[in-house]
Structure formats: C-alpha cells, structure tokens
Amino acid sequence: MPRHISSVGWLTPVRRVMHQIQRATLASCAGLAAGLAQAEVPAIFRDADLAAGEQLIRQHRCAQCHAEKVGGDGSAIYRPLGRINTPGLLRGMVEQCNSALNLQMWPEEVTAVAAVLNRDHYRFRD
C-alpha cells in the first residue's frame, strides 16, 4: 500500500506512538463511562434483560391497561415521587400486576419489566 494511502504508516515513530496512546485513552474512557453507567443502575436491576422487558411490556399491553386505569396515555401511573420510591417497591408493584392479572411471568421477567420502567420513568440509582 502506498505511503500516502495508509492511515498511520506514514507517521513518524513519535506520532505513531501518540496516535496509539490517544486510541488507548479513548478506549479506556469508553470503558470507564460504561462502568459508571452500570454502577448507577440499582443492584436489583443490574442483570436484567432490558430487551425482554420491553417486549413483555408490549406483549402484556401494560400501557393500554394503565391508560384505562388513569386515563390519557397511561403515563400518569408512573409517579416517581409517589408511593413507589425504591427499586424494590417498583419490582414489587410489577409482581403485583403479574399476580393480579395472571400474566405468568417468571421472576427474572418481572425484574426485566421493572428495570425498563426504572430506566424510562423512575431512574432510581444505587
């Protein structure tokens, strides 16, 4: 490959090292940011499958049920300063819906739904 086409082959050794340091620094910062974001998620939701939670919310038509209960688009039911004020209470409320409506979700599915609600509405942190 000609020197003028190569992305870093034409760089002097010092510039090549600086380029490698910059790439390593960016990779480290990205990893640190991902770790910090994960640390903010409550422990109860850390291993939750968010994609599964989103799918379960659609499948069980949670938004439609909530809209029937509170009117509008149903989002008024999510009151972060209301009676649901901890991650455990949020998961417990999802479990109550699971039981009352006989949704037959497994415990990890209940946690996944609660994790999505936390991410989108409540934003509890550890």
Other Cβ atoms less than 10 A from the Cβ of 16: the count is 13
Summarised one tens digit per residue, pLDDT across range 68-126 is 888 887 777 776 567 888 999 999 999 999 999 999 999 999 999 999 999 998 999 98
- For residue 1, give the amino acid letter: M
Question: Which segments of 9-102 does DSSP mark as H helices, in order?
Answer: 13-40, 50-59, 62-70, 87-100
Q: Are residues 57 and 104 in the same domain?
A: yes
Both structure tokens of 113? 């739904």
CB 9 within 8 A of CB 1: yes
Cβ of 1: how many Cβ atoms within 10 Å?
A: 7
Residue 27 belongs to what domain range?
Answer: 1-40
Does 33 lie in the same domain as 50?
no
89 in the same domain as 49 = yes
pTM for this model (two decimals): 0.67
Rounded to whole angstroms, the Cα distance separating 88 from 108 reads 14
